[in-house]
Amino acid sequence: MTSSVRVVAAGDHFVLPSLITAALAREADCAVRELTLGWPLEPFGPVAEVSEASDAEDDLIGALADAQVLVTQMGPVTERVLAACPGLRLVVVCRGGPVNVNLTAARRHGVRVCFAPGRNAAATAEFTIGLLLAALRRIPQAHDLLARRRSWAGSAYYTYADSGLELEDLPIGLVGHGAVGGRVARVLCAFGARVMVYDPHVRGEVHGLRLSTLDDLLCRSRVISLHARLTAETRGLVGARELALLPPGAVVVNAARGPLLDEEALCDALECGRLAAAALDTYAREPLPPDSRLPALADRVVLTPHLGGASRAVAEKAARIAAAEVGRWARGEPLAHCLT
Say if CB 77 and CB 30 are below 8 A apart.
no
Identify whether 257 is a catalytic site residue. Answer: yes
The closest alpha carbon to 115, from 101, 131, 134, 105, belongs to 101
Which of these is catalytic: 143, 286, 312, 333? 286
* Neighbour tally for 309: CB within 10 Å: 21
Q: Which of 13, 109, 137, 306 is catalytic?
A: 306
Selection from 219, 177, 218 nearest residue 197 by Cα:
177
Give Rg (Cα) of the chain.
22
Round to the nearest angstrom and report the end-to-end CA distance of the chain: 26
Catalytic, 241? Answer no
Instruction: Assess contact for 40 and 53: CB atoms under 8 A.
Output: no
CA distances from 327 to 4, 64, 96, 125, 323 (A): 11, 19, 19, 29, 6
> Which member of 257, 300, 320, 337 is catalytic?
257
| Residue 286 is a catalytic residue | yes
Cβ pair 117, 93 in contact under 8 A:
no
Active site residues: 257, 286, 306
